Amino acid sequence: MLPFQQVDVFTAVPFKGNPVAVILEGDALTAGEMQTIARWTNLSETTFVCSPTDPSADYRLRIFTPKNELPFAGHPTIGSAHAVLRQGRTPKTAGRLVQQCGKGLIQIEHDGERGFFALPTPRFVDGGEQLRDGLAHALGVAPSALRSITTVDVGPVWITVEMLSADAVLALTPDMGGLCTLMPDGRTGVTVFGLHDPAEEADIEVRSFAPGEGVPEDPVCGSGNGCVAAVVRQRRLIAKREYQARQGRCLGRDGRIAIRFADDGTIWVGGQAVTCVEGVLTV
């Protein structure tokens, strides 16, 4: 029997964020068994906390969608860190966890009730703009409704699309089959975003679609929001050093994601987390 938590991420209100299944003693499992469990939980990601091979790391995290293993993902990072601390593990460095994963070492810090991870350095990839007509058709809008298209690699690779407004994002009814056929090899999916009116509580509305990974719409996506943040910084869309995004309302959720731009160029992605299910997994 293996300790298990299901953690709701990017929310302080149970069942309003994005759940991740966290198996806290993953060393006992093979990669095939991990994939089978991830397929069974049928969440956007399931994680397995393992012993690190790097002495500077507190733990090694393996992250699985229902179909594949990922080198890194955002909400599983915050959710797994929450579960590790709840289990009673003591970080090697006070106030900071170091997660080893396929993308390398990820720094995780806490600011009060929120956890923040340092986004892996974004890499901008060619090839997004040539998909404009196909993306517009799959999203159910005119090509002119897509203000910009940028492919960003942070481990997961998101085709990141700016819409004309937050309301335009909320109104989308994508053709998931159409989105699947558009995804070149190595692309995770499509994240769309639009700016809110300045009077609104949040600055940006975000939605993420990854039907090829078995996740038609991700309720609240950390890596997708990290890619949005990279585009926001590159295009200077928001002047503030910290902004808030909302995601998940079309799925009955209300995720809140905090983005910080550090002086050294690091993008920090953060939010709250709450454990909703706790027990043991029998394997």
Active site (catalytic) residues: 45
Place of tokens 């196909």: 134
Instruction: Give CA 184 to chain center in angstroms.
Output: 20
> Whole-angstrom Cα distance, residue 107 to residue 120?
9
Which residue type does 11 have? Answer: T
> Whole-angstrom Cα distance, residue 153 to residue 201?
29
Q: Could you tell me the sign of the dihedral formed by the alpha carbons of 230, 255, 23, 113, in that order? A: positive
Report helix, strand or coil for 264: coil
> Whole-angstrom Cα distance, residue 277 to residue 42?
15
Report helix, strand or coil for 274: strand
Report helix, strand or coil for 121: coil
List residues bridging with 253 in a β-sheet.
none
Nearest to 81 by CA among 99, 64, 65: 99
Q: Evaluate whether 97 touches 108 at the Cβ level (below 8 Å).
A: yes
> Whole-angstrom Cα distance, residue 129 to residue 14?
38
Residue ranges with strand state E in 137-272 = 146-153, 157-163, 189-195, 204-210, 215-218, 242-247, 255-261, 267-271
Nearest to 258 by CA among 241, 273, 245: 245
- End-to-end Cα, the chain, rounded Å: 6
